Amino acid sequence: MNALEYANPTTLKDAVALLGPSWNDAAVLAGGTDLISMMKDLLVSPRRLVNIKNIAELGGIARKGGALRIGAAATFDDLASSAAVRAEFPALTEAVLGVTSPQIRNMGTAGGDLCQRPRCWFYRTGNGLLAIKDGKSLVPEGDNRYHAIFGGGPAYFVSASSLGPALVALNAKLRLVSAAGERTVEAARFFVSPQTPEQREVDLRPGEILADITVPLVKTRNFTYEVRQKEALDWPLTAASVALTMDGSRVKSAKIVLGHVAPTPWSAAKAEAFLTGKSIDETTAAAAGDAAADGAQPLSGNAYKVQLVKVAVKRALLAAARA
Ligand SMILES: Cc1cc2nc3c(=O)[nH]c(=O)nc-3n(C[C@H](O)[C@H](O)[C@H](O)COP(=O)(O)OP(=O)(O)OC[C@H]3O[C@@H](n4cnc5c(N)ncnc54)[C@H](O)[C@@H]3O)c2cc1C
């Protein structure tokens, strides 16, 4: 690692004043479970680290007005043990419980989960976010077993955040604060598929801190189902987060958001439209799974993910209907 400054502010105002106009000026340090490994691999070399773990106003999970406010520095453990999250948003609790490592649960934060960098091995071994060499992406002809089956090109990595799809399905909003002021972004718009190697995969600008996440307290049947190769120390292969607004036993409107299959959480619009006016049973849930997989464009090594999408959507819907 290169020599760097370390700052330990206790207010959000002081923290944003310590950041700068470029990514190399300073990096926000939350749990460090992603950032420190990126620094060790020399993928990022910030001149200053701004620790946000001692800023009380960035923590906590509480009902506020008609929403649940989750501080960006709340950890996975905070989320997993929150009765309010479990009662209203099983989709979120299930996504949190999927991260089984006690170390990551203890240190990793909600904000860090949303802002973690892609795990794509081409990117992590220094080939850039779009993995372009000699004008061509390395992914289609390389080992792409974990890459995108939707929305691929020029980016083929998958969004690594497990909380992202659930927060998109639940219509969450994110508050971003900088020295110049603050802005609020819908979770669905926070994630972007970069078109150039310089563009980030999230709508976070240098100098900004993600301060909190608000999830509207709207009554839905919601759930997340993840398909994982192994229980510990890995990301899901595919996930589906669903949130259903019901009219009696029938679906009034559905949100179905896929995880780990595209450079962003991926809304399955055809499946959402298909479910409107229907009740949830084995047949409709399976048909929604098929509709969600429609339009997938697998690469040479990841066609298996198409079936995982079908399964994840079906099981998430059946669990949401029971929730
Ligand atoms: C073995 C292993 C398994 C994992 N499995 C999963 C999984 O299944 N699902 C999953 O979603 N994740 C998984 N992760 C990733 C883990 O969840 C993230 O590393 C963690 O959430 C990052 O949070 P952090 O607080 O440690 O962030 P840090 O490492 O401190 O920061 C990560 C990035 O976000 C930025 N950042 C952090 N907080 C803020 C903020 N408030 N405002 C602005 N920028 C910010 C940092 O500058 C940095 O770029 C896994 C990680 C490991 C090592």
Ligand 1 in contact with 31 (CB < 6 A)? yes
Average pLDDT over residues 96-110: 95
| pLDDT tens string 23-35 | 999 999 999 999 9
CB 265 within 8 A of CB 258: yes
**The predicted structure's pLDDT at residue 59:** 98
- Flag whether pLDDT at 183 surpasses 80: yes
CA dihedral angle for residue 318, residue 254, residue 219, residue 186, rounded to 10 degrees:
130
**The predicted structure's pLDDT at residue 281:** 97
Ligand 1 pocket test: which of 54, 57, 115 has the largest number of ligand atoms within 8 Å of its C-beta?
A: 115
**The predicted structure's pLDDT at residue 16:** 98
pLDDT band (50, 70, 90) for residue 189: very high
27-29 and 48-51: which strand pairing? parallel
Please choose, from the candidates 229, 233, 223, the residue with its C-alpha nearest in 3D space to the C-alpha of residue 314.
223
Ligand 1 in contact with 72 (CB < 6 A)? yes
**The predicted structure's pLDDT at residue 232:** 77
Classify domain 56-116+157-322 by CATH number: 3.30.465.10
Ligand 1 pocket test: which of 16, 23, 24, 35 has the largest number of ligand atoms within 8 Å of its C-beta?
A: 35
Average pLDDT over residues 249-265: 98
CB 55 within 8 A of CB 15: yes
| pLDDT tens string 153-176 | 999 999 999 999 999 999 999 999
3 state DSSP class of 85:
helix
Average per-residue pLDDT for the chain: 97
Average pLDDT over residues 83-108: 96
| pLDDT tens string 199-242 | 999 999 999 999 999 999 999 999 999 999 987 788 999 999 99
**The predicted structure's pLDDT at residue 244:** 98
Rounded to whole angstroms, how far apart are CA atoms 164 and 188? Answer: 8
Burial category of 84 from C-beta neighbours within 10 Å (exposed 0-12, middle 13-18, buried 19 and up) = middle
- Flag whether pLDDT at 1 surpasses 70: no
Please state whether the peptide bond connecting residue 154 to the residue before it is cis, i.e. omega within 30 degrees of 0: yes
| pLDDT tens string 50-78 | 999 999 999 999 999 999 999 999 999 99
Q: Whose CA is nearest to atom 17 of ligand 1?
A: 113
Q: From the CA of 124, how far away is ligand 1's center (Å)? A: 15
Rounded to whole angstroms, how far apart are CA atoms 268 and 254? Answer: 10
- Flag whether pLDDT at 299 surpasses 70: yes
Rounded to whole angstroms, how far apart are CA atoms 20 and 234? Answer: 33
Q: Whose CA is nearest to atom 22 of ligand 1?
A: 112
Four-residue CA torsion sign, 31, 35, 41, 47? negative
pLDDT band (50, 70, 90) for residue 15: very high
Instruction: Work out which ligand 1 atom sits closest to the CA atom of 72.
Output: 41
Rounded to whole angstroms, how far apart are CA atoms 199 and 62? Answer: 34
Average pLDDT over residues 102-118: 97
**Residues 268, 278, 291, CA angle at the centre, nearest 5°?**
30
Ligand 1 in contact with 302 (CB < 6 A)? no
- Flag whether pLDDT at 2 surpasses 90: no
Q: From the CA of 100, how far away is ligand 1's center (Å)? A: 14
CB 134 within 8 A of CB 230: no
Kindly write down the DSSP assignment for every residue of 128-193, as one continuous string.
TTTTEETTEESSTTS--TTS-SSS-SS-------SHHHHHHHTT-EEEEEETTEEEEEEHHHHB--
